[in-house]
Amino acid sequence: MRGALDGIAAFLTDGKSDAEAYPWATLRYCDSAKVKVELIARYKPSTANKALAALRGVLQECWRLGYMSAEDYHAAVDVKTIKSHTLPRGRALASGEIAALMGACGRDSSSAGSRDAALIAVLYGAGLRRSEAVALDISDYNDETGELAIRGAKGRKDRLAYATNGSSAALGDWIGVRGRDSGALFCNINKGGRITIRRMTDQAVLHILRKRASEAGVSSFSPHDCRRSFISDLLDAGADISTVQQLAGHSNIQTTARYDRRGEVTKQKAARLLHVPYTKRPPLNH
């Protein structure tokens, strides 16, 4: 937010001021409108809208503190959000790809094979963000109920996720290898195969997934794509979207809907209904 406000202040003063020095209470609608035009020219809609939200926030504080009249405040913030429609980010993994990843882990008889299978199981099977997975302690998992206590997640919100079926089995096998010493659920394993109860990093999760994808012959994907797959597959299986929203820890249901990739599959099926009468040409003779 500070960076966005610094940029707005610099634009309005030709580089002579930053967010701390700019007199925000003097800003009027014509200034806000110019800022919006500049943001559209410089940034993608999502980035521009975040900057506009930061501007509205600081103006609201000026009004609350009595530095702006209600009339000036409401006029200055009356700048509409920039509308856009972009292609959805990331992708959903097919069930065969999840199976291939698990197979790659299963062929690795070392401790890392067991750990990585359990990690993939909670990223996909419980829909965890990678930061949430590495933050788990062994005490956060209840192996009787399958509950995973996610603490201090995005937005400083706690929630319960669930490891069931294969996810529960994968976690059980990993804990059997790891042991029940207190500390991080997913921990480091050195090159000699020795487990150290030391928390993994977000980057380590990315490295693990890339390694297992290469072994399994699965196309490149991000840790967050496991979460997208979790949401899409639950909705496809008939789960209520509000329940999926709670499991995913989203603040609003629109966010959950944006993760849904079922519509793309439907469009692909529809596209295949059309036959293009093209006959493959023989190779050219040189």
Q: How far apart are CA 227 and CA 92, in angstroms?
A: 8
Measured from the Cβ of residue 216, the count of other Cβ atoms closer than 10 Å reads 19
Beta-bridge partner residues of 147: 162
Buried b (16+ CB within 10 A) or exposed e, 91-101: bbbeeebbebb
Q: Domain ranges in the chain?
A: 2-76, 95-263
Q: Which of 250, 215, 228, 245 is nearest to 113 (CA)?
A: 215
Q: How far apart are CA 254 and CA 72, in angstroms?
A: 32
Q: What is the pLDDT of residue 155?
A: 67
45-54, 60-69, 135-144, 250-259: segment of lowest average pLDDT: 250-259
Question: Do the beta carbons of residue 119 and residue 175 sit within 8 Å?
Answer: no
Question: Do the beta carbons of residue 8 and residue 20 sit within 8 Å?
Answer: no
Average pLDDT taken over every residue of the chain: 89
Question: Do the beta carbons of residue 111 and residue 188 sit within 8 Å?
Answer: no
Q: What is the pLDDT of residue 30?
A: 94
pLDDT at 84 over 90: no
| Fold designation for 95-263 | hpI Integrase; Chain A (1.10.443)
Question: Do the beta carbons of residue 120 and residue 112 sit within 8 Å?
Answer: no
The predicted model scores a pTM of 0.69
Average pLDDT over every residue of 203-227: 94
50-59, 81-90, 203-212: segment of lowest average pLDDT: 81-90
- Residue 249: band (very low, low, confident or very high) from pLDDT cuts 50, 70, 90: confident
Pairing of β 195-199 and β 157-162: unpaired
Which sequence positions are flagged as catalytic?
A: 129, 154, 224, 227, 250, 259
Q: What is the pLDDT of residue 1?
A: 80
User: Could you tell me the sign of the dihedral formed by the alpha carbons of 218, 109, 137, 169, in that order?
Assistant: positive
Highest mean pLDDT among 104-118, 157-171, 241-255: 104-118
Helices (H), the chain: 2-12, 29-42, 45-64, 70-76, 95-106, 111-125, 130-135, 165-178, 202-216, 223-236, 241-248, 253-258, 262-271
pLDDT > 90 in the chain, percent = 63
Q: What is the pLDDT of residue 191?
A: 84
Q: What is the pLDDT of residue 145?
A: 92
- In three-state secondary structure terms, 251 is coil
Question: Do the beta carbons of residue 249 and residue 276 sit within 8 Å?
Answer: no
Greater pLDDT, 56 or 260? 56
Encode pLDDT of 30-56 as tens digits: 999 999 999 999 998 889 999 999 999
Q: How far apart are CA 226 and CA 43, in angstroms?
A: 29
Residues 6+ apart with CB under 8 A from 29: 75, 76, 78, 79
Encode pLDDT of 172-205 as tens digits: 999 999 999 999 999 999 888 899 999 999 999 9
Q: What is the pLDDT of residue 275?
A: 67
Q: How far apart are CA 256 and CA 231, in angstroms?
A: 7
